[in-house]
Amino acid sequence: MKATVTVMLKGGVLDPQGRAIGHALSNLGFAGVGEVRAGKVFELELAETNPDRARTQAEEMARRLLANTVIESFQVSVDA
């Protein structure tokens, strides 16, 4: 089963990488781009076959390793 964990900085946390990307997009001529936030995506191939248990496992992985929950939030999606 495949689980996808998307990690983003929480609102209000300074995102220098996102700011640099936004500036670069503007320099490339992409007008109208507002705030840019950068994040991380982890694709996990899990042996678990139960979607609820796979989600629980991926959430625990995110809490313990993949995300710094002090400054980052995460979302988990599971595909059978």
Mean pLDDT by 10 residues, the chain (80 residues): 98 97 97 96 98 98 98 96
Q: Which of 61, 19, 63, 62 is nearest to 38 (CA)?
A: 19
pLDDT (0 to 100) of residue 51: 97
pLDDT (0 to 100) of residue 55: 98
In angstroms, the CA 15 to CA 32 distance is 19
The Cα 57–Cα 50 span in angstroms is 11
Phi-psi group of 32: left, alpha or beta (phi > 0 → left; psi -120 to 50 → alpha; rest → beta): left
Q: Which amino acid is at 64?
A: R
- Helix, strand, or coil here: 5? strand
- Go through the domains of the chain in sequence order and give each one's CATH number: 2-79 (3.30.1280.10)
Q: What is the pLDDT of residue 80?
A: 76
Please tell me the predicted confidence (pLDDT) of residue 10.
Answer: 98
